[in-house]
Amino acid sequence: MSHHSSMWVLTLVIKGQGYDLGWTPLHAAACEGHRAICAVLTEQGSMARVGEMDIEGRTPLILAAQEGHWSTVKLLLDRRSPIDHRAYDGHSALSAALLENNRYRKAIHAHIQTYCQSRIT
Residue 58 has pLDDT above 90, yes or no: yes
User: Residue ranges of the domains in the chain?
Assistant: 3-120
Domain 3-120 has CATH 1.10.10.10: no
Q: In this predicted structure, what is the pLDDT of residue 87?
A: 96
Whole-model pTM: value is: 0.75
Cβ partners under 8 Å of residue 10, min gap 6 = none
Average pLDDT, the chain: 81
pLDDT tens per residue across span 9-24:
666 655 555 667 888 8
Distances (CA, A) of 96 to 44, 50, 93, 103, 112: 27, 17, 5, 13, 12
Q: Which residues of 98-116 are buried (b: 16+ CB within 10 A; e: fewer)?
A: beeebebbeebbebbeebe
Work out the pLDDT band at 121, boundaries 50, 70, 90. low
Work out the pLDDT band at 7, boundaries 50, 70, 90. low
